[in-house]
Amino acid sequence: MSHSIAADAGAPAAPAEKQDFVRQIVRQDLASGKHVAIRTRFPPEPNGYLHIGHAKAICLDFGIAAEFGGLCNLRFDDTNPEKEHPEFVQAIQDDVRWLGFDWASLRHASDYFEVFYLAAEKLIVQGDAFVCDLSAEQVREYRGTLTEPGRNSPYRERSVEENLDLFRRMRAGEFPDGARTLRAKIDMASGNINLRDPALYRIKKVAHQNTGDAWPIYPMYDYAHSLGDAVEGITHSLCTLEFEDHRPLYDWCVDKVDLANSPELLAPLLARGLPNEAAKPRQIEFSRLNINYTVMSKRKLVAMVNDNLVDGWDDPRMPTLQGLRRRGYTPASLRLLVDRVGISKQNSVIDFSVLEGALRDDLDAHAPRRMAVVEPLKFVLTNLPEGHAETLVFSNHPKDESLGTREVPFSRELWIEREDFAEVPPKGWKRLVPGGEVRLRGAGIVRCDEVVKDADGNVVELRGTLDPESRPGMEGANRKIKGTIHWLDATRAVAAEIRLYDRLFSVADPDDESEGKTYRDHLNPDSRRVVQGYVEPAAAAAAPETCFQFERTGYFVADRRDHRAGAPVFNRSVGLRDTWMQKGD
Ligand code: ATP
Ligand code: MG
């Protein structure tokens, strides 16, 4: 007997169940008994870093497994050795973990190369596959078009014996790259071009990052992907919409090989200590995540890195998970974005402000507050004695006491933000003017008595007085005053490099190639500006990757690579408000 009711009574309400069409299918499959437990996988190709689009797939694959008590594997789809690299294999694992997920089992398509090979021999024996000698160009000619059927390869009717012999010799490395392929024998007249005798194997004498020189032939994506899912007993194979047309081939491979009922094909797995979990998977497609003001094509991201248009894969302006992380995006903010975008079959482009809004909402609730001055102007309080030093106590968050308090130094010499002072104020100005008053956040009201200028007439310093009656705890502390500004103790503030990032592209659709332009022509020239500012000691001392709201300035993160307590470096993650919408785009 369980008596857990009382223990549960104080638990927070469970978040509302998600109702998207994929989860509906999973629910039905569990309710009907089609599956007793579900299994999903996230199958990246290790040919680049993960980007924000992958976050959607990761949250869906791992999220569904977690919500329904199932398992999710991380499987490297490593069937294209030329472009793959162990650096990416490692980075992808780091990124998935950083997003907050962990895999039931880490697999590689290459773990199954021997199984795939035996399955191919089975297809040959069944008369479902043949070795074809047509060149790549000839294959294209024979394939036909969307409106015209293709023609059968002259090698289509080879005997099983000849096919087996040739395929084994392909594997033995007897033929040069591209000389032959193994093709599925399906239907050259099919309306779906993917079914026109697609290649299952090609010859490619390239070393593989996982299997070395063991294989001179490599399986094609559709074949390896469908069988990989079957080997792992994936129940719901979730992928993006462009694979919808590949589903008939996916099903063909799964059904013809029938791994679930072919234990003899799985012997190589068992020999490697992997369990027999084979079952028939089902592919379900959902729409990709697209975000404006950004590019997500791996080809373009690679080119931007290689051509130094950005400072590497983790440049804080990049849409890679490494870049977003360095920019200050939190895992929670990305999961929130994915939740807000939802899962459907409708392709759409999400506005960049939705991404920024998710970060802002997460950081508004969770980031401790600090003060920083980006463009400093000295303000001397002449009615305080030379060497005057105080320590004030500030709460770290206006709405969350659990974030505690910190000490903020205060003295006779302050830094204020240059833009908080105007000699000739515009209409409606609430901040400092000559002879005017302003509240220093948490410290009292000051008046500007004197403006010190250099020979060129530039303002170099302000001198003024602090109203002692307006200090916190004093009678006049609540005296009405129009403006409040942030400030730092100039004697104890820490000089900091402040990197002011903005969107990498200045147009909504950087992929727009009209008028002979490319994405390179759409780069935002103001996407990175570095200034020397100051931060309070309690910000300088933070560990790398700590996020703060710098009051009145924006959300910032201590740079993951370069920040040191003695030499702080902060990246602007996002402003306090959306300034792009106001520009009228
Ligand atoms: P490639 O051009 O190299 O195939 P890819 O973006 O498809 O690039 P994969 O590593 O194959 O990269 O993707 C792994 C998984 O992430 C796939 O299931 C894919 O459908 C999914 N995925 C990729 N891009 C997006 C996106 N923009 N939105 C949602 N899911 C995505
Ligand atoms: Mg892909």
Atom of ligand 1 nearest to the CA of 50: 10
Atom of ligand 1 nearest to the CA of 56: 29
Atom 4 in ligand 1: which residue has the minimum CA distance? 45
The pLDDT value recorded for residue 147 is 95
* Number of the ligand closest to the Cα of 54: 1
**43 CA from centroid of ligand 2 (Å):** 8
- Going 180 to 181 to 187 to 189, the CA torsion angle's sign is negative
Does residue 504 lie within any of the structural domains? no
CB half-sphere exposure, 125, CA atoms < 13 A: 8
In a mutational test of the pocket of ligand 1, which residue from 54, 286, 296 has the highest number of ligand atoms less than 8 Å from its CB?
A: 54
The pLDDT value recorded for residue 16 is 79
Instruction: Mark whether 236 and 97 lie in a shared domain.
Output: yes
Rounded to a whole number of angstroms, the CA Rg of the chain reads: 31
Distance (Å, whole) CA 479 – CA 437: 11
Distance (Å, whole) CA 351 – CA 20: 21
* Number of the ligand closest to the Cα of 59: 1
Q: Which ranges constitute the DSSP H helices of 307-441?
A: 321-327, 331-341, 352-366
Domain end point (choices 436, 457, 492): 492
Q: Is residue 259 within 8 Å of residue 120, measured between CB atoms?
A: no
Residues with CB under 6 A from ligand 1: 43-45, 47, 53-54, 56-57, 239-240, 288-289, 296, 298
**183 CA from centroid of ligand 1 (Å):** 25
Structure tokens at 225: 């992907």
SS3 state of residue 206: coil
Instruction: Mark whether 211 and 84 lie in a shared domain.
Output: yes
In a mutational test of the pocket of ligand 1, which residue from 240, 321, 347, 348 has the highest number of ligand atoms less than 8 Å from its CB?
A: 240
Distance (Å, whole) CA 403 – CA 458: 41
Distance (Å, whole) CA 141 – CA 389: 83
Does residue 360 lie within any of the structural domains? no
What's the domain range around 411? Answer: 369-492
Phi-psi region of 127 (alpha: psi -120 to 50; beta: other; left: phi over 0): left
Instruction: Mark whether 270 and 169 lie in a shared domain.
Output: yes
Query: How many other C-beta atoms are found inside a 10 Å radius of the C-beta of residue 561?
Result: 10
SS3 state of residue 497: strand
Mention every residue, 6+ apart, whose C-beta is less than 8 A from residue 5.
Answer: none
Domain end point (choices 492, 509, 530): 492
Mention every residue, 6+ apart, whose C-beta is less than 8 A from residue 558.
Answer: 539, 542, 543, 544, 545, 546, 548, 568, 569, 570
Per DSSP bridges, beta strands 389-395 and 554-558 are: unpaired
Instruction: Mark whether 270 and 385 lie in a shared domain.
Output: no
Instruction: Mark whether 273 and 413 lie in a shared domain.
Output: no
Atom of ligand 1 nearest to the CA of 58: 16
The pLDDT value recorded for residue 119 is 98
The pLDDT value recorded for residue 12 is 55
* Number of the ligand closest to the Cα of 296: 1
Does residue 337 lie within any of the structural domains? no
Atom 2 in ligand 1: which residue has the minimum CA distance? 298
Instruction: Mark whether 280 and 378 lie in a shared domain.
Output: no
Atom of ligand 1 nearest to the CA of 296: 27
Does residue 583 lie within any of the structural domains? no
Does residue 50 lie within any of the structural domains? yes
27, 156, 256, 288: which one is catalytic? 288
Closest CA to 471 of 579, 370, 388: 388
Domain end point (choices 232, 264, 286): 286
**151 CA from centroid of ligand 2 (Å):** 29
Atom of ligand 1 nearest to the CA of 83: 3
In a mutational test of the pocket of ligand 1, which residue from 22, 45, 89, 320 has the highest number of ligand atoms less than 8 Å from its CB?
A: 45
Instruction: Mark whether 198 and 49 lie in a shared domain.
Output: yes
CATH code of residue 80 = 3.40.50.620
CATH code of residue 412 = 2.40.240.10
Question: How many domains, the chain?
Answer: 2
Distance (Å, whole) CA 98 – CA 81: 26
Phi-psi region of 100 (alpha: psi -120 to 50; beta: other; left: phi over 0): left
143, 298, 463, 479: which one is catalytic? 298
Atom 29 in ligand 1: which residue has the minimum CA distance? 288
**243 CA from centroid of ligand 2 (Å):** 9
Whether 288 is catalytic: yes
**44 CA from centroid of ligand 2 (Å):** 7
**124 CA from centroid of ligand 1 (Å):** 31
Atom of ligand 1 nearest to the CA of 299: 2
Q: Is residue 118 within 8 Å of residue 265, measured between CB atoms?
A: yes
Instruction: Mark whether 401 and 266 lie in a shared domain.
Output: no
- Going 25 to 28 to 32 to 36, the CA torsion angle's sign is positive
Mention every residue, 6+ apart, whose C-beta is less than 8 A from residue 39.
Answer: 65, 70, 71, 72, 73, 104, 232, 233, 234, 235, 236, 277
**376 CA from centroid of ligand 1 (Å):** 45
Atom of ligand 1 nearest to the CA of 46: 10
Does residue 1 lie within any of the structural domains? no
Instruction: Mark whether 271 and 375 lie in a shared domain.
Output: no
Instruction: Mark whether 250 and 382 lie in a shared domain.
Output: no
Does residue 341 lie within any of the structural domains? no
The pLDDT value recorded for residue 293 is 96
Atom 23 in ligand 1: which residue has the minimum CA distance? 54
Instruction: Mark whether 244 and 387 lie in a shared domain.
Output: no
Atom 8 in ligand 1: which residue has the minimum CA distance? 298
**300 CA from centroid of ligand 1 (Å):** 14
Closest CA to 232 of 277, 266, 194: 277
What element of type H or E holds 44? none
Q: Which residues of the chain register pLDDT less than 70?
A: 1-15, 580-585
Instruction: Mark whether 422 and 280 lie in a shared domain.
Output: no
Does residue 242 lie within any of the structural domains? yes
Which amino acid type is present at position 331? P
**215 CA from centroid of ligand 1 (Å):** 26
Distance (Å, whole) CA 479 – CA 98: 48
Whether 298 is catalytic: yes
In angstroms, what CA-CA distances link 282 with 163, 227, 230, 233, 255? 30, 11, 9, 10, 11
The pLDDT value recorded for residue 583 is 47
Residue 444 phi, psi (nearest 5): 135, 180
In the block, which residue shows the tokens 């690299």?
A: 85
Whether 345 is catalytic: no
SS3 state of residue 131: strand
Q: Please tell me whether the overall predicted TM-score, pTM, comes out greater than 0.85 for this model.
A: yes
Q: Is residue 362 within 8 Å of residue 336, measured between CB atoms?
A: yes
